[in-house]
Structure 1
């Protein structure tokens, strides 16, 4: 029996994201450098004699705290988003308030552009640690949701799997901002494009206790914002 016949594809995708996060975690720890000073070049015996420079693996420090603080801050921002989105004054004036709220939430993460790059040989870049936490957290969320709501888990795997795995910074500011804009569209465009649907979701939460609205605000949007911040951080 093939594994695909009894193991849901969503779980496979979440597992792949988990391994991707662990790979980024290992990548943040070790860096490969040329060790010219301590060793002599090694000559390979063959049809063509070549000299190759020996390499050395250096263990770097992983400053986890800044990445964890970014994760916490984005989810707190999601809590604030849900609180504002469920206020009566916001629902009454959502045609004006939604674009303003979307703009404010889009500007706040730009503070990541002010962060200074770390020493590549001694300290791991923050973006690697943040991406590792982001992928592992998203993988955990998808795995849990697949037990509770398989359809929602499938949608999350499609929306988060590839974008979160491809998030990366660039040395050019224009490319970083372009990538950031795409992730903002993925994470916040529902505020403008799905006003009626979100209003219905808020009603379902307040009256029926359906947790789709808080999930989108507190879980989905912060995960995408974390990937967006990865694109803004210095490489």
Structure 2
């Protein structure tokens, strides 16, 4: 894993060509660019997760993003889950993000994010959990079309001893603005011994509608074995 970080950091520091990649990745790797002032987007997700216990659970998500200013945005998502015995509330996520300069002005695109997450017992399988996550977002377009993004997360679990841990997310996507885009994410939490790779494809349709499809593959025994996710996003 250290070798992976080294390669990504080298890529991030290479000369870049400025071009917009402002949509977050399918598995919530956040990008540097924010929505413009008063821009508003809504999303609906449907997914199936196969856990380490070999049970498949359906998850359904409603989310929105809103541009508070040209460099500052907020977003939120609520999730319900279905295990075959009715629907249950599973997760609430609220995030705000600010970028520090115009795209291309600095060698790296840098943004700061703060996220609050509440997971219920239905989601965790044990006690409910509240997590506050400060996050550093680093982004670099290696060419006009190829984006690389690195998230450095520092989750603080509020439900126990408030210990700060570390998690990461790496994203690569190509190209920037065409009908079909492809990419992948690698996300991990060393303290929880979880890691997932998440290849994905995006389809830009008329009327500002985007469809996204992807499959997450668990790389450790403590990660969901697989996740199949479909997302519809519309800009209003």
TM-score, structure 2 as length reference: 0.27
- Largest Rg, 1 or 2: 1
Is the helix fraction higher in 1 or 2? Answer: 1
Which of structures 1 and 2 has the larger relative contact order (alpha carbons within 8 angstroms, sep 6+)?
1
Is the strand fraction higher in 1 or 2? Answer: 2
